[in-house]
Every structure is written in structure tokens, then in C-alpha cells.
Structure 1
Amino acid sequence: MTCSLKLCRILFFLSFCLLFPFCVTDHLQAEERPNIIYVMADDMGYGDLGCYGQKIIKTPNIDQLAKQGMRFTNHYAGHTVCRPSRLVLLSGQHSGHTPISQNEQYYFPEGTTTVTTLLKQQGYATGGVGKWALGIPESTGVPSKQGFDFWFGYLDQGNAHNFYPEYLWSNEQEVSLPGNKVGPHKRVSISRETYSHDLLTREAFNFIRTHANQPFFLQAHYTIPHANNEGGRATGDGMEVPEYGEYADREWPQPEKGFAAMVTRLDRDLGRMVQLLKELKLERKTIIFFTSDNGPHQEGMHQVEFFNSNGPLKGYKRDLYEGGIRVPLIVKWPGKIKPDRTTDHISAFWDFLPTACELAGVEPPNNIDGISYLPTLLGQPQQKHDTMFWKYRGKVALRAGKWKAVQTGPNKPLELYNLETDIGEAHDLAAEHPELVARMKRQIAASQSND
């Protein structure tokens, strides 16, 4: 080969890399493929963590995760309520392309491709604890038929609103909790002995210990700090927790003591999980994601404003304003993610599937909306979304760069916000930018494949 031909090939390669920087992210070697732990709180707000501005509730262990890893400031849940948000996370498709876009009943069909089935095919041991919501017993949607080697927790999401249930599920085996008894409405606890969150944590830790010598994926979809709505109306306390701990003597309403204690209990168990990984010498081999399934709730007699749970954001659970869908995301991977980093990369739940696939060295499906944010985690050039979309009943929202369009009902006008200068969505600029509004209306229509 002549020197000139060699030079031409080198120049071509360099040009290719410059034109397509996103295809040159270093693929991890097989021995570098990490264990993946995805921890998700239930109804925790953008402002409920110290590292996101919380001043009262104590979250030292989660704050330490952020200190040792990367904190995302522009991360979005898959939805503004529970079931469709989980569906988006597992499928890699946003709610314009998923079969449901509200909390209606839905079971995964047999043979569904999810992040879990893809990781299982790649040789990962797959386990989960917490709230499932995508298949009741004897349906095709149960976790054991959707790629999970092991599952422990709730299957029907309605039962997950009680933290002292009479039973939980280990795969498809009902596990009785005889010390707990609920009333006729199935959500009001009459006797309380076993707190479900503590069992979920125990089983999560057991899964880690059992699979310490092989790659594993653990989905820990905890149910706190969700409210027990029925229990709250019946007993005056919709935030069930065994003790209020350091908040017991605060002169607060009872539900607020419970809410704070739930968040701090979850924080405690994240600290215990990290310590377990250290003991098993798995800390540097494991990437931990921590997030919430949607914005903060105002249920069970808890008030969003009491702890400023949505931080600087407008709205909360069931809204498509930022407070309903923008959530914390913290990712820690010692030795790979540089510590104490913050990113404003705009990402969402549907990006987790391709991110996990890239971590595991498996090709993601073509029919997804997600883009891997592993390049951001590793400090490499990152491909960005042109638009991001959500819908809930008659509401829709679309983000395109700094711009956010929100329609609060089918006959409502489209509102327009500049999130760079107005994170609280206080100033509707639609009248000032009619051409942008028209374009975003077209993008909203194009984002809904079945409408």
C-alpha cells in the first residue's frame, strides 16, 4: 500500500469520526460490562433530595451517590403516573407509541421485548423487587414471563398502596404475611407487623449476594413515598411507616412526618446497598441508577408545598408541567463516571433501554424512541433528542431543546415556555411565537402513532 493511499484512508477515517461522533463511543469489553442496579422511588419529587435543593428531609446517602457520580438536571420520567411510566422505562418507547398512556389496566403480551429480556439474553441474571403493575397472576404479563429470573413484591399496583399487605409475590408464588391484616377495602391496615419496604430491601440484597459472581440486573422499584390513600382517609395518616425517627418530635402534621420518614428510610437503604456492594467487592463493577417514577404526589394528606417537593418546578403528579414529569436521576459507577459531575443533558426513561444495552454490549431494537446516554456518563460526545413527548388523557406536552409546549386539555390552547429562562413555566410565550407554536403542534401530531 502506498503512503498516499494510507494517508487517504487515515484522513477518511478521521473525517468519518468528525461527521459521526456518536458512533465512536468506546464499546465496553466483555469483562468491563457492569452489574446494573436501577432504583426507582414512587412519587418522589424533583425537590425531595438534598442534592436537588431539599433543606429539611435528610438524604445523606443519596446525596453521596451524587457526590460520587453524576447528577442529571434535565431528566424526565416516562409519564406523570405509575403504570405507563414503568411501561415506557421497560419498552424504550415514549407514551405516544406505547399501548396505554394512563393508569388503565395493561398486561405485557407474551414475547414482549423489554430491557430485561434483552439483558437476560446477554447472560445477565435478572431480578426485581417492588411494584410491577404490568401483569397480574396467571397473566402473560407477570415478571417471570417477561425476562425476570426472580421477582419479589407486588404484582397488581392497587395492592401496592398498602405498606402492610397480607401477602406479596415471589415470582408466581403467593407469600403470606400473617402479622398483617387489612380491612374490607384491602387498603386499610388493621394490624401491622411486617413493613413491605423492608422485605423488598431484604430480597434485593439477597439477590445481589446470590449473583455476586456473575453479571446481574436488579430492578428495585420501591413503593415509598407513595401514599396509602384509603388508609389516610380512614386513619388520618396516609403515609405509612413503622416509625417517624428523627422527625417524631417535629411540630408537623402526621402525614408530613410520615412522608419525611419514608424518604429517609429509602435513603438509609440506599446506603446499606452501597455498603453491601463494597463488602462483596462489587462497587467498581456495578453501575447504580437512582430516580423516581413521576413527580411528587399530593395524596394521603401530604401537601407538595410542605417540603417544596417539586422544587422550582410547576405542578406535580398527574400534570404535564415540569413538576409532574421532571425527576431526579443520579448515576454512580466508580472508575468510569467522574465524581461530583452535573449534566444538563435532556434525557428520559425511554433512554434507559438503549443505555443498558450499550452497557451490556447488546444491540437495542429498532422500534424504540430512546437514545443511550452512556456517552454523557463517560464524558463523550452525546447525541440529542430533537423532541420529547408525553400524553396523559387529554393532555399533551412536547419539549424541543429549550422550548416546552403544554396543552392541558383537548380544547385548551397550546402553552409555550422557554425552560432556559423560565423553569417554573410562569410565562406563556405562545402569543409571541406563532410559527414555533404551529411547528410544535405538527411535532405533537407526529409523535402519536395511533392518533
Structure 2
Amino acid sequence: MTDNEDSFRITRRATIGGAAAALATAAVPAVARSPRRRPNILYIMADDLGYADLSCYGRRDFETPVLDRLATEGLRFTNAYANSAVCTATRVGLITGRYQYRLPVGLEEPLAFRQNIGLPPSHPTLPSQLAKAGYRTSLIGKWHLGSLPDYDPLKSGYQTFWGIRSGGVDYYTHQTSGGRPDLWDGPTPVEKTGYITDLIADRAIEEIRAASAASAPWFMSLHFTAPHWPWEGPGDEAESAHIAQSKDPKALFHYDGGTAATYAAMVRRLDYQVGRVLEALRAARVDGDTIVVFTSDNGGERFSDTWPFSGRKTELLEGGLRIPAIVRWPGVTKAGSTSDAQVISMDWLPTFTAAAGAAPDAQFPSDGVDIAPALRGGALGERTLFWRYKNHAQRAARRGNLKYLKIGENEFLFDVAADPLERANLKDRNAPAFAALKAEWEAWNATMLPLDPQSYTHGFTASELADHIGVDD
């Protein structure tokens, strides 16, 4: 039996098991949340998962039965956006509820090499505000917001941390691109044998059991590394060993590795492990009291499906920004519903803090909005969303169906509802709208920090960036 055949066999079992777990969860009637108890919050984030990488979003060559089932039990957004087209910047937007460009760490696209940059422990965060409101808080999985000793999840509101600190590790050795071990239990490095997707799920299940046995409500950030490179599926220990034996420090980036089949195995294993986590909620009898969100940190990577969009991670085309987002909130979301409301990563902070009854921080007001009206099936007020990337070489703004986009010296206006591939430039046909959106972007940008000339992506050409972008992202 070949390695690929063995990987498919293992993954097929995982998919069947995941479907069974999802069906078991679905078999339990939805329990109305007690008005006396604030909801638990389980926020699950994949890494580099493309918009159409789940079959409920259109993936055509494999299925994701667990997440498909979650969508049938809750609400699926079709206009969900990441705060950035890369990892660290989105995570800054998520945890602070603000545009990442307000903080030096948010200018790092991605965060690499600079030990003196990270999320300031003094800055209020989603977990710190929930902890202040009496929530038990945990981060299981990927951090990527700064290195010890100055920056740490435990200094930014999480009471428990188990996972990795960097942008990516080998799925079996748990080492970074420099061969450094990167698996932690709080401040303590740990060694543990196993596939990292499985280990993260195992630890999440342990935390759900412990948190659910306590009296306080809880918040968990469950940040998987899948399906981020290196392209290693279940049963791919031989590929891991090949990378470990290579003397090339860039081997982990896997420029010449992976296959579509391996990527499918990685996503299906992620789907299966999410099923185990959801089953743990049911077993602890807290599924009726728990908000569950599943989404991604940015658009798709090399093997991703981003149809019907063009572009990918690192690009402000829709494929680099549009992400899947599924929400199951008993008593709030309607089973099997969809929403075309435009939501973004930084919206989760005001949404979750409002659900928890936590007071907003007056000194650091969120740039996001509470999206509960959309979760209930209503609409959100129209607003403009903004992005920039790589030394102003890329900029974008969306309001309604219109999107202003600049790449290098080329400027565009697209109707991304009518033209999701962003091919028909309406800049001249609708000159007033183009000018208005461009001016709005300029005014917004003037309120943000200027880009840091020392940041990792500053000054790279497109070809140079292609050679270097993998570092710790």
C-alpha cells in the first residue's frame, strides 16, 4: 500500500467517524439557553482555509460532513471577511476588535524575525474583557502574536494556553522552519507524539470537560494550524521525516511538496476533529448553552478552492479575504439559514462581549460591530470595510456591493456581487462611486499607523515576496 493510499484509508475512516459524531450531535434536540446563564463561546479558526474548501461552501472533490452538519444546525455567512489576507494581522484584528493597523504588531504581515514586536499585554483583548466579566478563558492552538518573554497568551487575557507560538510547525515533529521545537503548555515547552491537528483537538476536549464542570461560563479560542503548510496529512510521517532530514531551512515551507489529495486529507481530518470537539460539548451537556463559530484567518493557499472568487492569501482580491463563517447559537440562529451580511474578524469582539454582558472598553472602542442582528436573521447597517497590504501596493475598500481595489499603480472598481471574479473594471463607467470610495479609503488610512519600513513585507516586489512569504506565517 502506498503512502497516499494509506493516507486516504485513514482519512476515510476519519470522515466516517466525523459524520457519525455530527449525527450524534444533531440527534440531541436543541436546548434553549437558560436566561440565568451567559453562553459559553467556542471560537474555532482554521489556518489558510479557502472560502470554498468546505463542501457546504462548494468544495467539489471532497466532503466535510461535520462542518456541513454544523451549517444545517446554524447560520452560514456568504459575505464574511478576514481582517487581513495574512495570519498575524487578522489575529490582531480578532483579539483587539480593532483594525490591526492601529498597533505596530498589526503592521507585521506576517510576524517574523523581530523579537521586539508583539501584542502589548497592556492592550485590552477579547479574552481579557471576557475574563474580567467572569469567564474562564483559554487558547488552544496557534498564537502568532509575539514571543516570550515579553508577549504571551497568558499576558493577554487567556488563563490557559496549550499550543504553538509561531506561525507554523511540522505536523509531526512540531518544529518551526528553523528546527526549533514549538509546543507549549502555558510557559512550559512540552514534547508530545502525534499529528498536531489531533493533539489540538485532544487538548480542547480536555478543556471543555474541565470548564464545563465549573460554575463559570467559558470562552475558548480553538485555533487549528490546519490546513497551513507543510502539506502533511494523517499518515504522512515519511514526508515529515524527509523535511526534518533536509538541511534547507526553507524545507518546512514545502514549495515543492504536497498534492491536492494531501490537502484534502488535511481538511477532512480537521473536519473530523471538529466533530470530536462538538461531541464533547454534547457529552458535557453544554451544547445548548454554547455559541459555536467556525471560520478561517484569511483566504486560501496553494491547494485551496476559492471559487467563485479570484486571488488567494496575500492578495486583496476576494479570494484572499473572503472566508467561510458558520455560527450555531441556540435560541438565536435559525437552523439551515444563510446571511449575506458583510461581517469581518474584528466583529467577534463586540458580538461576544455583548452576549456575555461584558462592558466595552471606552479607551479602546472596537472598529467592529455587534453582528447579533444578522445572526437573528436581520440586516446590518451599511458600512465601509477597509484593507491595505504590503507598503500600500495593495489597498481595498468595500461598501455595499462596490469594491475599490488598487494593486501597484492599477486601480479598479468592481461590483463583487455581480462580478465575483473581479474582472469588469467599472472605474470609468461609475466614476463618482470610484472617486468616493477611493477618497473614503484615503481618509480612513490617515487615521491608521504608517507602515513600518522594517516590517517583513515592506519593500518586497511580488516575485521577492513569493520567495519569502512563508517565513513563520
TMscore range, shorter length: 0.7 to 0.9
8 Å contact kept, 1:397–1:405:
yes
Separation of aligned partners in 1, 2:110 and 2:172 = 20
Separation of aligned partners in 2, 1:77 and 1:426 = 22
TM-score for both structures, normalised by structure 2: 0.77
What is residue 443 of structure 1 aligned with on the other side? 440
Residue pairs, 1:33-432, within 5 angstroms: 33-99=38-104, 100-101=106-107, 102-104=109-111, 105=114, 106-139=117-150, 141-157=151-167, 159-160=168-169, 163-165=172-174, 166-177=181-192, 193-212=193-212, 213=214, 214-228=216-230, 239-243=231-235, 255-298=259-302, 303-304=303-304, 309-366=305-362, 367-380=365-378, 382-393=379-390, 394-409=393-408, 412-432=409-429
Separation of aligned partners in 2, 1:73 and 1:333 = 17
Shift of 1:255: 2.1
Separation of aligned partners in 2, 1:315 and 1:258 = 22
Separation of aligned partners in 2, 1:96 and 1:82 = 14
Shift of 1:362: 1.3
Shift of 1:85: 0.8
8 Å contact kept, 1:296–1:310:
yes
The root-mean-square deviation of aligned C-alpha atoms, in Å, is 1.8
In structure 2, the CA distance between the partners of 1:440 and 1:98, relative to structure 1 (3 Å rule), is farther
Separation of aligned partners in 2, 1:208 and 1:29 = 19
In structure 2, the CA distance between the partners of 1:98 and 1:109, relative to structure 1 (3 Å rule), is closer
3-state DSSP class of the match of 1:211? Answer: helix
Partner AA of 2:417 in structure 1: E
3-state DSSP class of the match of 2:67? Answer: helix
What is residue 10 of structure 1 aligned with on the other side? none
3-state DSSP class of the match of 1:356? Answer: helix
Shift of 1:243: 2.6
Separation of aligned partners in 2, 1:198 and 1:387 = 39
Shift of 1:156: 2.1
Partner AA of 1:221 in structure 2: H
Partner AA of 1:164 in structure 2: T
3-state DSSP class of the match of 1:144? Answer: helix
In structure 2, the CA distance between the partners of 1:128 and 1:240, relative to structure 1 (3 Å rule), is same
3-state DSSP class of the match of 1:344? Answer: strand
CA-to-aligned-CA distance 1:178-228 (integer Å, 9 cap, x gap) = xxxxxxxxxxxxxxx522221111111111100103311000110000012
TM-score for both structures, normalised by structure 1: 0.80
In structure 2, the CA distance between the partners of 1:442 and 1:98, relative to structure 1 (3 Å rule), is farther
Q: How many residues align?
A: 378
8 Å contact kept, 2:201–2:274:
no
Partner AA of 1:263 in structure 2: V
Separation of aligned partners in 2, 1:29 and 1:419 = 41
8 Å contact kept, 1:57–1:263:
no
Separation of aligned partners in 1, 2:361 and 2:346 = 12
Shift of 1:334: 2.6
Separation of aligned partners in 2, 1:98 and 1:110 = 12
3-state DSSP class of the match of 1:447? Answer: helix
8 Å contact kept, 2:40–2:217:
yes
3-state DSSP class of the match of 1:137? Answer: coil
Shift of 1:360: 0.4
What is residue 231 of structure 1 aligned with on the other side? none
Separation of aligned partners in 1, 2:169 and 2:370 = 31
3-state DSSP class of the match of 1:407? Answer: strand
In structure 2, the CA distance between the partners of 1:207 and 1:171, relative to structure 1 (3 Å rule), is same
CA-to-aligned-CA distance 1:28-54 (integer Å, 9 cap, x gap) = 986242100000000110010011011
Separation of aligned partners in 1, 2:195 and 2:98 = 34
Ranges in structure 1 where 5+ consecutive residues have no aligned partner: 1-27, 178-192, 229-238, 245-252
The answer to which of 206-215 and 60-69 deviates more is 206-215
8 Å contact kept, 2:232–2:258:
no
Shift of 1:95: 3.8
In structure 2, the CA distance between the partners of 1:154 and 1:371, relative to structure 1 (3 Å rule), is same
Shift of 1:364: 2.2
CA-to-aligned-CA distance 1:16-75 (integer Å, 9 cap, x gap) = xxxxxxxxxxxx986242100000000110010011011222200000000000000000
Ranges in structure 2 where 5+ consecutive residues have no aligned partner: 1-32, 175-180, 237-256, 451-473
% identity of equivalent residues: 34
Separation of aligned partners in 2, 1:362 and 1:328 = 27
Partner AA of 2:95 in structure 1: L
Separation of aligned partners in 2, 1:258 and 1:426 = 31
What is residue 190 of structure 1 aligned with on the other side? none
Separation of aligned partners in 1, 2:182 and 2:88 = 21
8 Å contact kept, 1:42–1:226:
yes
CA-to-aligned-CA distance 1:234-255 (integer Å, 9 cap, x gap) = xxxxx112237xxxxxxxx952
Shift of 1:316: 0.5
Separation of aligned partners in 1, 2:385 and 2:338 = 21
8 Å contact kept, 1:315–1:321:
yes
Separation of aligned partners in 1, 2:173 and 2:52 = 27
